[in-house]
Structure 1
Amino acid sequence: MGDVAVGARSEQGGPEEEPVGAAGGTEPAGKAEQAEKTGKAKKKAGQQRPFWKELPLLVVVALVLALLIKTFLVQAFSIPSDSMQDTLQRGDRVLVDKLTPWFGSEPERGEVIVFHDPGTWLRDEPTPEPNMVQKALSFIGLMPSANEKDLIKRVIGVAGDTVECKGTGPLKVNGKPLQEPYVFPGNTPCSLAPEGQFKVTVPKDRLWVMGDHRQNSADSRFHQDEPGNGFVPVGNVVGRAIVVAWPIDRWATLPVPDTFDQKGIDKAAATAPTAVAFVGAVPLVLLRRRVAVRRAERRG
């Protein structure tokens, strides 16, 4: 006999039962309800929540991000004086890089830096009392802090450097006269004031800083008789000013000028190759002498 077809009678004589869900069959009531519930759940999940319900979460996330950026990345500061003209004008807003110091980077010559008052530089400067809105905005970094006593100057000398001013200049670092195109027009690189005539060597972990408006900047020169002798501790540095962000028509980056690429400024860099060459040459000379002695002995 041939094969039994699907749906034919079984050997017992009754029709074979068709599979559940096959053509012509019906789904159980429980599964139909479950499918309906699943469809409603998917539809509900696909619906977006109203914006007003999402807004508080967005605000919280934005505030947290702003606080993290202020703490670890960049912070805005306002320029309160004319001491850095023409590079920076009173009222400019600068963004300060706070990230690189976390990786052990220290300020270099020519950088414009923001630093906490070493102790007495701003003792006679009044501290304005901000309102609640200003306090909140400064806390998250959207406004400069009014309570912190910070200054902004250009790094002229780092640890080990000898910085010197005689007469009206030029300013010298490690005996090398500097070409300073950033000095305020009409100013001389050195001031004839008693404080403006100096020769100092920067100690370890300290900086010598000066303003670009040389005749209108109470910088390291004017604090030599105070604790710290006018030097700024590296630990007081908040970060490097990298860009003028406001007003828009003043937008500009703040790169390190070519001034500090002049040959001869870095004594260590200038003398190190000679020292290394000398140390490396000694073994070669001794080896050559030994070879010459052996050859002489063989000939004898």
Structure 2
Amino acid sequence: MDTEAQHTERDPSSDTEEGSRSARVPDDSGREGPAGPAAAEGPLESAAAEEPLESAAAEERRPGPSWRRTALVGGACVAFLLLLSHFVIQPFLIPSGSMEPTLQVGDRILVNKLAYRFGNEPARGDVVVFDGTGSFVDEQPRDNPVTGLLHDGAAALGLAEPDETDFVKRVVGTGGDRVVCCDKDGRITVNGVPVEERYVMLGDRPSSVPFDIVVPPGRLWVMGDHRSQSSDSRDHLGSAGGGMVPVDRVVGRADWIAWPFGRWSTVPGTDAFAAVPAPPAGGHGAGPHG
């Protein structure tokens, strides 16, 4: 007796018919439609497919940095730098070797414009930037105001050479001082005291031009450290100002060398005038006056 279960064979067509009947059920309207999980997932899959497209469209519509915003930020930065250079610290480009070895051609120095704003005045030994109009050069109006404005802006940022009326020199005599060149040892004397000018370019004499002057009140006698290459107060003894720079024409004190990086430092100070006394209260009674 055959005890094994008898496998009944099913007609394949019956499976197909049952699958067809189970896959299609009538909806509320009586129409047949997809049933089961497939029917539920259809609309969700469609929404999911549309989401990336909507996200991409939203990303495109999202505002990004515009050229107007960039221009506004850039303009604000430039305005800030111009205000800073006008009132606080101004960079200057050294165009000549008249202050070597202290300052070299191509140095960019930072001038402290607050150094003499609160009652302080330039002192002997200070390296100063000043407007030489009326003392070193005659005032000459610019032909093109637009070019002049652009140049002033570039010079204020240290990107161009300063005006031809701007100079950088060292203060040797202040108001009331008697400055003489030279004593029997070839040294400059201030109020009768010889000055050891170690900052002068090696090989240069303190001055090849003899002079004996008394600095008027409110003015300065200035000289370059590279005496043989400097056009300074000595060269303007015969002019209207006598080579003396008005204190109110001083832009500021050169305090730092900012560029190149290899020379990044403060401008070296000097104690050469430490022993020089104040001028006599009654003034100097002898010697020519500038």
Is the partner of 2:116 in helix, strand or coil? helix
Q: CA deviation at 1:132?
A: 9.0
- Please give the alpha-carbon distance, in whole angstroms, between the structure 2 residues aligned to 1:141 and 1:100: 19
Q: Is 1:81 equivalent to 2:96 in the alignment?
A: yes
Which letter maps to 2:272?
A: T
Q: Is 1:98 equivalent to 2:109 in the alignment?
A: no
**Structure with greater proportional helix content:** 1
Is the partner of 2:92 in helix, strand or coil? strand
With over 3 angstroms needed to count, the CA separation of the structure-2 counterparts of 1:221 and 1:133, relative to structure 1, is closer
Larger radius of gyration: 2
- Please give the alpha-carbon distance, in whole angstroms, between the structure 2 residues aligned to 1:136 and 1:181: 35
Superposed, 1:1-300 pairs within 5 Å as 50-52=64-66, 54-119=69-134, 121-122=136-137, 135=151, 137-138=153-154, 141-144=157-160, 146-147=162-163, 149-166=165-182, 169-191=186-208, 196-261=209-274, 263=275, 265-267=276-278
- Please give the alpha-carbon distance, in whole angstroms, between the structure 1 residues aligned to 2:163 and 2:205: 34
Q: CA deviation at 1:83?
A: 1.0
With over 3 angstroms needed to count, the CA separation of the structure-2 counterparts of 1:205 and 1:248, relative to structure 1, is same
Structure 1, gaps ≥5 residues long: 1-47, 271-300
Structure 2, gaps ≥5 residues long: 1-61, 282-290
Which letter maps to 1:178?
A: V
- Please give the alpha-carbon distance, in whole angstroms, between the structure 1 residues aligned to 2:247 and 2:122: 8
With over 3 angstroms needed to count, the CA separation of the structure-2 counterparts of 1:58 and 1:169, relative to structure 1, is same
Percent of aligned positions that are identical = 42
With over 3 angstroms needed to count, the CA separation of the structure-2 counterparts of 1:139 and 1:250, relative to structure 1, is closer
- Please give the alpha-carbon distance, in whole angstroms, between the structure 2 residues aligned to 1:78 and 1:108: 23
Is the partner of 1:102 in helix, strand or coil? coil
Contact kept in structure 1, 2:82 and 2:153, CA below 8 Å: no
Which letter maps to 2:127?
A: V
Contact kept in structure 2, 1:134 and 1:143, CA below 8 Å: no
Which letter maps to 1:225?
A: G
Is the partner of 1:65 in helix, strand or coil? helix
Q: CA deviation at 1:110?
A: 0.5
Relative to the length of structure 1, the TM-score reads 0.64
Q: Flag as ranges the 4+ runs of structure 1 deviating above 6 A.
A: 129-133
- Please give the alpha-carbon distance, in whole angstroms, between the structure 2 residues aligned to 1:269 and 1:202: 13
Q: CA deviation at 1:171?
A: 0.9
With over 3 angstroms needed to count, the CA separation of the structure-2 counterparts of 1:136 and 1:222, relative to structure 1, is closer
Which letter maps to 1:89?
A: Q
